[in-house]
Amino acid sequence: MLLLPPRVAYLRSRKFSQEAIARMVSRAPYLLNFSVERLDNRLGFFQEQLGLSAENVFELEFGFRKNEIQHVALRVPKVLAANKKRLTETFNYVHNTMEIPHNMITKFPQIFNSSLLKIKERHMFLSFLGRAIYDSTQPNYVSLDKVAAMPDDIFCREVAKASIQDFDKFRKTM
């Protein structure tokens, strides 16, 4: 593949480790479609536009520790180029409204790939049903990946223990 060597050389020049580069290529292959210039723009977005690195955004605004930031970025590389406002809104809702601690968000960073509307609808529905239990030590625990990624019908049947029709009626009241 002719696209790979220049991008890998660029990432090496930006001090990414071999392991980090391998993860980026395997978990975010769409990066290979970017020209080196566009890749540089994406990675430089936080520094140039916001005056902050991605790590600083997560550390300063969201309160994550460095190792948690690395874990999130390696599991969901798109988060590094995501819209800051969208990330902030999602984080604030999940952390402050749903009361999910940093360590749980770190375990399920895919929550940042889900739409905020979907997260809100599902959390409010689970709350209405008395099933919004996000503490893994409690019975009927609901993990964030189920809130973020399951199709509605499976979410209703397996997590909410309700029908899709009940969920649709509930959404109309929001």
Round to whole Å and give the CA distance between 82 and 75. Answer: 14
pLDDT at 51 over 50: no
Amino acid letter, 119? I
Q: Which two tokens stand for residue 40?
A: 């540089």
Q: Is the pLDDT of residue 128 over 60?
A: yes
Tens of pLDDT, residues 65-74: 666 777 777 7
Q: Give the tens place of pLDDT for each residue, 150-169.
A: 999 999 999 999 999 999 99
